[in-house]
Structure 1
């Protein structure tokens, strides 16, 4: 588990309509490791930050005022292809922003994420 550092983001909780499919998606996409706590909650580690998915009918989308979790990659086009192959829906295609490029997608559990690159 990552070491907690005072006054930094330590844990992120994300709603999912189906915790099992969210876990499978991110295991395949980015290799996060998970620990299940019953059918309605799973926590993840990516080597730097920890978080969890909890079962909810309400999901997180930017247009509805939800927070956006952004993942970094060096290969944006490949990441987009992987996201689609694994069953996610692109909600905003690749676009430029100050510092790089990114796209948004809805993972199979229903919440919106983004992947960005400075390449």
Structure 2
């Protein structure tokens, strides 16, 4: 599926105890999850996203917006008065950058890896 810039592409829900969070959302919404390394649990039958360990700077849900060109989008974030961390590659998935808008609201950008 093509990328639609600005569309919410992924969410991450932070949890102090991912097992308890998986049970909570599983009972609330019927979600099941698949575990990936690092106690990261991809939601299988709900929104595109995951339940992940809470850590410093990641205490609230993280929303990823799609972009076709993350480098240009990061530059635009800076030009518009926001803040963006460096771009990080996620092997086989794409590239991400965690940002804050010009009022301090956190969000993230996601550029998918090219499809073969």
Larger Rg: 1 or 2?
2
Query: What's the TM-score bracket when you normalise by the shorter of the two chains?
Result: 0.3 to 0.5
Instruction: State the TM-score, normalized to the length of structure 2.
Output: 0.45
TM-score, structure 1 normalization = 0.44
